[in-house]
Amino acid sequence: MLSRMTAMLAALLLAFQAIILPEAGQTPAQRLDARLSALSAAADEEAAAPLVDEITALWADAGSPTIALLMDRAAAARAAGDPGLAARMYGHVHDLAPDYSEGWLRAAELAMARDDWAFAFEALNEALLAEPRRFDAYAMLARVLERAGAAEAALEAYEEALGIHPVYAPAQAGAARLRAAREGRPL
């Protein structure tokens, strides 16, 4: 029993080392490429989870203390129930770092929560222009497109997400729902 537990702990330690300690000499962009490549081959959500955690951390890294501070203030404003202040903080992020996909994605989340579907659509397009491998942005875009009644375009967006992250549960569920509706089956 103890040797089995020791083996499990050793396996977990090795897995966490692979995630936490970057390979020597790899840039963040190279690590992102490697993790996205591994994600596309993940067998299930459990295998994908540590990869997704590192990928989202890499995407969230602004590389700028100013952008990080603005993103923190936007998150604090959202948590405090001040979406107007959060939107202004995201606006500053866009002005200072227009290619920072995380800023656009978080602004799109806020816009969706405020039923500002036009801005959510625009922000998600900007996020995907900045980082075309954002499976989360594709899934969010699909929800916006569904809301607009563009089921085929929404299905394509879900499929784009699944092309990057094949076991992404929100995209799997959305695509399955839209395929069922297209085939005339009850939802």
Domain spans, the chain: 29-182
**Nearest to residue 20, comparing CAs of 71, 46, 58?**
58
pLDDT recorded at residue 120 = 98
pLDDT recorded at residue 25 = 84
Instruction: Decide yes or no: CATH 3.40.50.2000 for domain 29-182.
Output: no
pLDDT recorded at residue 1 = 57
pLDDT < 70 positions in the chain: 1-24, 185-187
> What tokens were used for 133?
């491998």
pLDDT recorded at residue 184 = 83
Cα–Cα separations (whole angstroms), residue 167 to 22, 141, 161:
24, 18, 9
pLDDT recorded at residue 10 = 47
pLDDT recorded at residue 21 = 52
